[in-house]
Structure 1
Amino acid sequence: MPTVPSHPLRVAVAQAPATPGDLTGNAVLAGKLVRQAAAERAVLVVLPELFLPAYHPPALDADPLGTDLLVKAGQLTDSRLWPIQEAVIQTGIHAIVGASVRVDGHRFISALHFRPDGKALDAYHKQNLIIPDETDLFEAGRPGDTPGAIEVGDWVIGLGICYDGCFPEHARAAAIAGAHAYAVPMAYVHGSDHRRDLYYAARALDNTFYVLACNAVDGPQPWRFSGGSAIYDPEGQSMGQAPGSGEGLVVADLDPEFMGRTRAVHRMLADLELARVS
């Protein structure tokens, strides 16, 4: 049966309206959100999908040079990221931030990992893309192209992006690989709130791990997003949810003892392991 961490972990999801095409301004806003999470003593904060350029296909299509970040050897050195890097250095927090990246000429929807030492890493590429808004602009990531998880202390945080979480197999693969939590930057528009809330609560219960679901919010139609960012416990219960509009910060303490008790009762991961070896 998968192990559980030795100590609790305080985490946050932080949503705010991003301005289409304004990577510089959105990075400043991201730095502010990082500081707000750190002020609540969180050691990890997750921001929405494509937060840095904003999730707005026309802007992403019109200005790829202005909205993309270049990745070399898994790292980013773009000066526009400094407000976030300065925030994590000064506060000692980890941050997951959605971005559009270029790797050897290939364009991906990415989850960037900003470490407390200030390094910006290309941590995960979205593997399941929406047709046609995303497939016209991006390539799908492949397992093994990126780390796919980060470590915060002895917690392993698996990564997905939005539509990935609609596939139970994606979260299950993270759990089998040892994830204790699943961080999912996402972009759900108004009218899909019921699916937004159902998918990620189900992924938490499916895998008896925590889920950090951070949704985009507001923006111009038809890409007007519904916020409602939330954190779910291993029973699939909400530990807090942000409003459907405007800025919002949800902070929660991930409890390894609760995870252990839940996994002792809901034995899906342990029984799956038994089935695989029998």
Structure 2
Amino acid sequence: MSTDLDKDTRPDAGDGAADGPPPLLELRDLHVSYGAIGALKGVSLTVPEGQVVALLGANGAGKSTTLKAASGMLAPRSGEVLLRGERVDGIKSHELVRFGIGHVPEGRRVFARMTVLENLKMGAYRLRRPDPADLERVFTLFPRLADRRKQVAGTLSGGEQQMLAIGRALMGKPELLLLDEPSMGLAPLIVQQIFEILKEINEQGTTLLLVEQNASQALQLANYGYVLETGAVVMADRAPALLSDPRVRAAYLGEAVE
């Protein structure tokens, strides 16, 4: 799917965000391939500490690949992943958790045969034992999970499983939370609840990098946004500017361009 976005608007990493907080995560000229197929073709972006950055694009644009490369699930063919200025590309995903990166994958991926409480405890595997304060934080953010703590995760609704996936990631005490399509397949009311909770998580100090098809919700939450097309960044700006850009509105909000 082509969005006809202006390729000349491709920014350098951090463009438009240099006057804000220091970068927590930086991707520099990242190239990732699946065999002979190039999925990312020089992606550069910056996630400032304490902020929310939205990553938009059509299916197949490279959004999920970007998150997987950032969290160590995929090794880049070239380029750099930096966390607080230190290179972390080449470090495996289970080790990057210790660096403060949490990843909520597309499709939720809860442990279906384990209870809600067991799933949450799995999120704290890098710690010697789960911190009761972290568990209380998750139950405060997601009261439904508190009510269902003994319920098998596979019997939860889609919205409850999404809450569990986010809660499980929070149990690892992440400074940076990567979220891949948290609203996928959910009813509008549940989507609204999820985004309200994400806002609260950010206000509590967790930096968010958000991949989301719901461009309107994502840009209303975000401070800054990037648009990917066929594995490359084609637009980057502050979220309000992207939300009002007629090209973005036509491509992702279904509005006609006059």
Q: Could you say which TM-score interval applies, normalised by the shorter chain?
A: 0.3 to 0.5
Q: Looking at both structures, which has the greater relative contact order when contacts are Cα pairs under 8 Å and sequence separation is at least 6?
A: 2
Q: TM-score, normalised by structure 1?
A: 0.35
Higher helix content, 1 or 2: 2
